[in-house]
Every structure is written in structure tokens, then in C-alpha cells.
Amino acid sequence: MRNKIVAGNWKMNNDANKTEALLEKLKKHNFNNDVKVMVSPSFTNLQKSVINLSDSKIEVIAQNMNESEKGAYTGEVSPSMIKSIGVSRVIIGHSERRAYYNENDQVLKKKINNALKNQIEIIFCFGEQISDRRSRKEFEIVKNQLSNTLLKIKESDWSNIILAYEPIWAIGTGENATAEQAQEMHFFVRNWLKSNFGTKISEMVPILYGGSVKPDNASEIFSQPDVDGGLIGGASLIIDDFIEIINSF
């Protein structure tokens, strides 16, 4: 039985006060024990959020991490910095990092390896552009994104990886993939896992969907057999919507 997961991707939103206010509301809620809830505040709010949520089951995760261990990389954050404040999971490969910060498959592969080597678990994002889908290349694109970054992963590392299918055309656009489109791609990804790493791993790895998940579409998307939860952007900033999405399982 795979974990059900709902992770809020807060991106570059919420100052210290707003972050605290959102967490206060969130932690008052009694969520279904079957669902693992995660939030990813900005780096400036990360440590305070860990302290704030220390008596809660909600996990605080980081939005990014550098591909190197340490050194002269002004403005960057290393795995040991993240770990030293009690965070042990990071989002890697988000389409905004790929698009605005030139994070290509080579860089992402280094980030993945750096995280795993430092016992940091990852949520790895991938997904196609609208032009890829229009030219029916979505499966090829996704397969390449996965193969270029994850093909050499050790079997034992898969228990530390969550995958997140995030079609770029659905992120922040209000246009979500239909439940059928999500299931079709998640099934494809599960088969990619099966053919490269075997049935056990393919059945173990959670695959999240991300892209305009809202209270009114979450339960249909989450009810698909290969969708194990969601990575939620915009709607996770509105705490009542986020709670409704978490309760959609």
C-alpha cells in the first residue's frame, strides 16, 4: 500500500508572519492519519516552520538545494544546511527551476545524487509542455526526463524518492489535466519504473500529480489508481482550500 501524500508548494510566497499564520491554522486541523501532509516554506522561513511544527505530523520540506556539497556558490543552499535545521526532504526538478534557472537534466541528476548521498529524500518533478502534448510527444518527453536523471539510481534509493508529474501547461494556469490524462501518464511512469527497476519498486514509489489541483477537482484526480496524491501550488496558499484538498482522499 503506497502512502497518500499532499504537499503544498508555497514557492516565493508568504513572509515570516504569513507563514506562521498559515501554519497555525494548518496544525489545528486533524487530518486523516492515512495522508502525509507536507509544506514547503521559503528558505527564510524554513527553520522557524520546523520548530513551529515540531509537535505536529506535518512535514516541512525545502523547495530547492544546490548540486554541490559546499563552496563558493553565493546565494545557494547545501544539503547539510538543510539537514542541520531538521529538514530531510527537498523538491527537485520543478518546472519553474528548469525554465527560469536553467536546471537541465545534467544539473538535476547531480542534485538528485547530492540529496540521496546526504540522506535527503526527494520529490522529483517532471512534465511536458503544451506543444509536446499537441504533437503527441508527452510520453517521449517524460520518458527522457526520467531516463536522463533517474536511470542509474540504486534500487535501495527508491524508498527515498517521490515522483511528481506536473504538466507545465497545467501549472498555475487553472487548467488541470483531466483525471484520465493524469492516470494515463502515471500508469506510463509506473510502467517505466517496472521495466527498469522491477515490479516491487514500481508498486512502492508514490507518484503525485501537480498542476491546478483545487478543492473541486482533487477527489477525482486522487481517486485514480496510479495517482498517490498531489503537489499543490496556488491552492495551498489558501489554507481552507488546502485543507479541503488534503481531505479529498
Q: Which of 59, 103, 128, 166 is catalytic?
A: 166
39 lies in the binding site for ligand PGA (CB under 6 A): no
Output the CA torsion sign for 92, 95, 101, 105: positive
Written as nine digits, the cell of 93 is 526538478
CA distance 153 to 115: 12
- Helical H runs in 101-214? 105-117, 130-134, 138-150, 179-197, 199-204
Taking 3-state DSSP, the helix, strand and coil percentages for the chain, each rounded to the nearest 5, stand at 50, 15, 35
Written as nine digits, the cell of 18 is 504569513
Residue 29 is a catalytic residue: no
For residues 56 and 27, the answer to whether their CB atoms sit within 8 Å is yes
| Least CB distance to ligand PGA at residue 28 (A) | 23
Written as nine digits, the cell of 4 is 497518500
CA distance 182 to 91: 20
Written as nine digits, the cell of 249 is 482522499
Window contacting ligand PGA (CB under 6 A); options: 30-38, 65-73, 97-105, 211-219: 211-219
Of the candidate residues 209, 211, 221, 246, the single one contacting ligand PGA (CB under 6 A):
211
Residue 166 is a catalytic residue: yes
Window contacting ligand PGA (CB under 6 A); options: 79-87, 183-191, 199-207, 209-217: 209-217
Q: Which of 94, 103, 128, 186 is catalytic?
A: 94
Window contacting ligand PGA (CB under 6 A); options: 38-46, 71-79, 128-136, 229-237: 229-237
168 lies in the binding site for ligand PGA (CB under 6 A): no
212 lies in the binding site for ligand PGA (CB under 6 A): yes
For residues 157 and 119, the answer to whether their CB atoms sit within 8 Å is no
Give me the residues paired with residue 173 across strands: none
Q: Which residue's C-beta sits nearest to ligand PGA?
A: 233
| Residue with smaller CB distance to ligand PGA, 169 or 197 | 169
| Residue with smaller CB distance to ligand PGA, 211 or 229 | 211
| Least CB distance to ligand PGA at residue 174 (A) | 8
Of the candidate residues 44, 172, 191, 216, the single one contacting ligand PGA (CB under 6 A):
172
Question: Can you give the binding site for ligand PGA, defined by CB under 6 A?
Answer: 9, 166, 171-172, 210-213, 231-235
Active site residues: 94, 166
